[in-house]
């Protein structure tokens, strides 16, 4: 099928889409893959993305201390396990669940 | 949007209405599963399941198993059932038959009673053929939406589940509840971290308490094993899709219950005593959820998925909803409905929610879904959370 090749605006040329679900959220969701070094604008704030963020993954939109709640959907989704800087990928390496932690229960028993 | 007030289904003698008119071949022991499949294939148009669990008083969760089997035989989508057993003296036969109401059409065929496997299969084939012929005389009639019980489920959740497919399903569920129908939210392990949202919508203090207690019970069951949910919840596929913690997964999951008040909490495989949004206590396992919600009388089911799955239930249609458009393209023969247009930014949640509501009613009226066309009939029964330590 003959079809003229036209320049198509690729994902690299347009700004990747990022979704802030709730105004209180401390993370936003990447609706396109984002490359490290990209600048994105969320709720009027300019954020320089520090890591590659895969589609559907979370990016911090403000600095968090270790032990701080991480908020998405306007709700607590877990605790920062290390300091997180704005623009960093937030996932299993720096965010921990606070629920269903039988492992912590065992650790507690071993200390006693 | 004009309100849709009815669907077309099969009225049963107990006043319930089916969205299907199945003749079910149900084995009561793993040893007769092969025979059940043989009968199903010998009489095209019937449905059957394979049973892989021993149903015996010595096995934990036996009362749940009996209730589940009873719920399947006494289901509005089932015209009649051929029960297959090794012996008519089996405990499962003794305990199941008294649970079935007088309106339930069934025949028990046992290998012992018929004098062998071939004779039993032949007898069951004849009964199934007679039932199938008789079932054809029934026609669909209008029925109010208050007769409909919708089962909701999500599996293979990704970061879009909570943004597209689940909110669309929640919207459709709310419309059904408004019309007087019932919607079941299940998967107790995936309410962990979101129980406060549901409890705030409880219609009474006792429902409020039941929500907290049910979730606490499931969480303790996991913790008793001395492990944390990070091994199993979120699952590796969820994590690859961008979900980090069980709380995050749960907050995405509960969207499929919409914003309706929570009218009740029921046990696994229990029939809802109330209309509206109801929580059923089930494990996270997809197949066990479907089987339990079907046992509760759900006549139509919706499965939202970020990774795709062919899973279906033998007696109730399971509508597969993709969270992303790419998934619909990857697995076109498994996905019935795409909610990814919300992520693509071309449709709103409300637009997709209305479309899904119409799809649910169309399937209730007889439109076949992928899982039915492909012949999916997975089966497994939950054995309970185990005793408190």
Output the DSSP codes for A47-78.
Answer: EE--S-B-TT-EEESS-B-TTPEEEETTEEEE
Q: Are B153 and B173 in contact (CB under 8 A)?
A: no
Residue B268: name the closest of B62, B79, B98, B73 by CA: B62
Alpha carbon distance B63, A45 (integer Å): 57
Residue B234 falls within a domain, yes or no?
A: yes
* Band (A13; pLDDT cuts 50, 70, 90): low
- Given a cut of 70, whether residue A111 has pLDDT beyond it is no
**Residues of chain B contacting A75 with CB distance shorter than 8 Å:** 193-194, 197, 247, 251
pLDDT of amino acid B228: 56
Question: Which pLDDT does position A43 carry in this prediction?
Answer: 85
Cα separation of B130 and B107, whole Å? 11
Res B93: pLDDT: 98
Q: How many domains does chain B have?
A: 2
Residues in chain A closer than 8 A to B244 (CB atoms):
58, 77-78, 90-92, 95, 97
Q: B108 and B224: one domain?
A: no
Which one of A15, A18, A31, A73 would you mutate to disrupt binding with B, by most B Cβ within 10 Å of its Cβ? A73
B335 with B206, same domain?
A: yes
Asked if B103 and B157 sit in the same domain, the reply is no
pLDDT in tens, A55-100: 999 999 999 999 999 999 999 999 999 999 999 999 999 999 988 6
Q: Say what the pLDDT of residue B27 is.
A: 98
The verdict on B210 and B339 lying in the same domain is: yes
Check residue B275 and give its pLDDT: 97
Q: Is pLDDT above 50 for A6?
A: no
Positive or negative: CA dihedral B79, B83, B89, B93: negative
Backbone torsions φ then ψ of B105, nearest 5 degrees: -95, 115
What per-residue confidence (pLDDT) applies to A103? Answer: 64
* pLDDT(A104) > 90: no
Token digits of residue B95 = 């305990």
The answer to whether position B155 is within a domain reads yes
Q: For residues A101 and B282, give the distance between their C-alpha atoms in angstroms, rounded to a whole number.
A: 20
Query: Are B208 and B106 part of one and the same domain?
Result: no
Q: What is the mean pLDDT of residues A9-18?
A: 67
A89 touches chain B (CB under 8 A): no
Query: Which segments of chain B does DSSP mark as H helices, in order?
Result: 33-42, 62-73, 91-96, 111-114, 117-135, 165-178, 195-199, 205-224, 236-240, 246-253, 286-295, 325-330, 349-364, 370-373
Q: Are B266 and B246 in contact (CB under 8 A)?
A: no
**The pLDDT value given to residue A5:** 40
Residue B388 domain flag: no
For A18-111, the fitting CATH number among 3.75.10.10, 2.60.40.180, 2.30.130.110, 3.40.440.10 is: 2.30.130.110
Determine, for residues A29 and B158 on separate chains, whether the beta-carbon distance falls below 8 Å.
no
Distances (CA, A) of B261 to B185, B196, B201, B211: 12, 13, 5, 12
In a domain, B261, yes or no: yes
B298 contacts B362 by C-beta, under 8 angstroms: no
pLDDT-derived band at A15 (thresholds 50, 70, 90) equals: confident
pLDDT at B4: 82
Q: What is the pLDDT of residue B186?
A: 96
User: For the domain that residue B72 is a member of, what is the CATH number?
Assistant: 3.40.1400.10
pLDDT at B221: 84
Rg (CA), chain B: 20
Peptide bond into B269 cis (omega under 30): no
Chain A residues lying within 8 Å of B222, measured CB to CB: 100, 102
Percent of chain A, pLDDT > 90? 71
ipTM, 2 dp: 0.84
- Whether residues B115 and B177 fall in one domain: no
B247/A75 CB distance under 8 A: yes
Which residues of chain B make contact with A101, given a CB cutoff of 8 A? 223, 228-229
Residue of B235, B357, B339, B319 lying closest to B284 (CA atoms): B235
Shared domain check, B31 and B158: no
Tell me which residue in A19, A97, A106 faces B226 most closely, judged by beta carbons. A106
Q: Can you read off the two tokens belonging to residue B125?
A: 């084939």
Asked if residue B220 belongs to a domain, the reply is yes
Rounded to the nearest angstrom, the minimum Cα separation between B218 and chain A is 9
Q: Could you tell me the CA-to-CA distances from B336 to A68, B174, B198, B341 in Å, in that order?
A: 41, 21, 28, 14
Model confidence at A4, pLDDT cuts 50, 70, 90, reads very low
Which one is predicted more confidently, B101 or A103? B101
Tell me: do B327 and B267 sit in the same domain. Answer: yes
Q: What pLDDT score does B231 carry?
A: 54
Residue B100 covered by a domain: yes
Cβ(B362)–Cβ(B183) under 8 Å?
no
Structure tokens at A61: 């939109």
Specify burial of residue A65 (Cβ count, 10 A radius: 0-12, 13-18, 19+).
exposed
Residue B109: beta bridge partners?
B84
Local mean pLDDT, 10-residue blocks, chain B (389 residues): 83 97 98 97 98 94 97 98 97 97 96 97 98 98 98 92 96 98 95 95 97 92 64 80 92 95 98 97 94 98 94 97 96 96 94 98 98 96 79
Does the CB of A31 have a partner CB in chain B at under 8 Å?
A: yes
Domain contains B5: no
Q: How many Å from the N-terminal Cα to the C-terminal Cα in chain A? A: 74
Residues B275 and B318 in one domain: yes
Cβ distance of A54 and B239 shorter than 8 Å: no
**Which pLDDT band holds residue A11 (cuts at 50, 70, 90)?**
very low
**φ and ψ at residue B17, rounded to 5 degrees:** -130, 130
What is the extent of the structural domain holding B96? 22-135
C-alpha–C-alpha distance, residues B209 and B211, integer Å? 5
* Mutation site for A-interface testing, chosen from B162, B217, B227, B242 by largest number of A Cβ within 10 Å: B242
Residue A8 has pLDDT above 50, yes or no: no
Cα nearest neighbour of A53 on chain B: B242
Q: Do B86 and B118 fall into the same domain?
A: yes
B111 and B218 inside one domain? no
Which B residues 216-255 touch A at CB under 8 Å?
219, 222-230, 233, 239, 241-242, 244-248, 251-252
pLDDT computed for residue A3 by the predictor: 37
Q: How, if at all, do strands B6-11 and A95-96 pair?
A: unpaired
Cα–Cα distance, B293 to B311 (Å, whole number) = 14
Q: Is residue B168 part of a domain?
A: yes
- Say yes or no: B358 and B268 in one domain: yes
Instruction: Give the pLDDT of residue B365.
Output: 98
Q: Show me where the domains of chain A are located.
A: 18-111
């Amino acid at each position: 099928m003959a079809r003229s090749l036209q320049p198509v605006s690729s994902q690299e040329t347009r700004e990747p889409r990022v979704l802030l679900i709730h105004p209180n959220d401390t993370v936003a969701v990447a609706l396109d893959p984002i490359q490290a070094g990209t600048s994105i604008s969320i709720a009027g704030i300019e954020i320089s993305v520090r890591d590659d963020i895969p589609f559907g993954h979370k990016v911090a939109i403000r600095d968090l201390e270790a032990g701080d709640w991480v908020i998405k959907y306007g709700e607590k989704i877990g605790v920062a396990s290390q300091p997180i800087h704005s623009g960093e990928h937030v996932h299993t390496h720096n965010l921990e669940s606070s629920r269903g932690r039988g492992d912590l229960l065992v650790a507690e028993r071993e200390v006693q | 949007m004009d309100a849709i007030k009815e669907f077309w289904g099969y009225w049963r003698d107990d006043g319930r209405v089916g969205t299907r008119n199945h003749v079910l071949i149900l084995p009561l022991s793993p040893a007769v599963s092969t025979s059940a499949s043989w009968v199903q294939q010998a009489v095209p148009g019937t449905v059957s399941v394979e049973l892989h669990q021993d149903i015996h008083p010595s096995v934990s969760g036996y009362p749940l198993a009996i209730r589940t089997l009873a719920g399947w035989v006494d289901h509005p989508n089932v015209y009649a059932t051929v029960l297959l057993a090794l012996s008519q003296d089996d405990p499962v036969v003794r305990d199941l038959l008294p649970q079935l109401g007088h309106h339930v059409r069934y025949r028990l065929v046992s290998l012992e009673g018929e004098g062998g496997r071939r004779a039993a299969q032949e007898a069951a084939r004849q009964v199934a053929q007679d039932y199938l012929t008789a079932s054809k005389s029934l026609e669909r009639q209008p029925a109010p939406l208050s007769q409909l019980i919708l089962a909701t489920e999500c599996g293979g959740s990704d970061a879009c589940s909570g943004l597209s497919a689940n909110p669309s399903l929640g919207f459709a569920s709310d419309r059904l509840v408004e019309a007087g129908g019932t919607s079941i939210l299940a998967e107790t392990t995936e309410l962990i971290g979101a129980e406060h949202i549901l409890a705030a919508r409880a219609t009474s203090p006792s429902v409020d308490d039941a929500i907290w207690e049910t979730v606490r019970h499931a969480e303790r069951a996991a913790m008793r094993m001395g492990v944390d949910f990070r091994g199993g919840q979120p699952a590796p596929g969820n994590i690859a899709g961008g979900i980090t913690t069980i709380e995050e997964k749960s907050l995405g999951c509960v969207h499929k219950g919409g914003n309706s008040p929570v009218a009740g909490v029921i046990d696994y495989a229990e029939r809802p005593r109330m209309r509206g949004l109801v929580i059923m206590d089930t494990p996270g396992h997809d197949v066990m959820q479907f089987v339990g919600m079907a046992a509760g009388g759900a006549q139509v089911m919706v499965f939202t998925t970020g990774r795709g799955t062919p899973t279906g239930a033998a007696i109730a249609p399971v509508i597969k909803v993709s969270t992303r458009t790419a998934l619909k393209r990857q697995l076109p023969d498994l996905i019935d409905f795409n909610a990814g247009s919300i992520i693509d930014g071309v449709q709103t949640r409300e637009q997709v929610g209305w479309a899904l509501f119409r799809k649910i009613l169309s399937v209730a009226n007889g439109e076949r879904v992928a899982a039915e066309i492909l012949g999916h009939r997975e089966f497994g029964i939950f054995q309970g959370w185990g005793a408190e330590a």
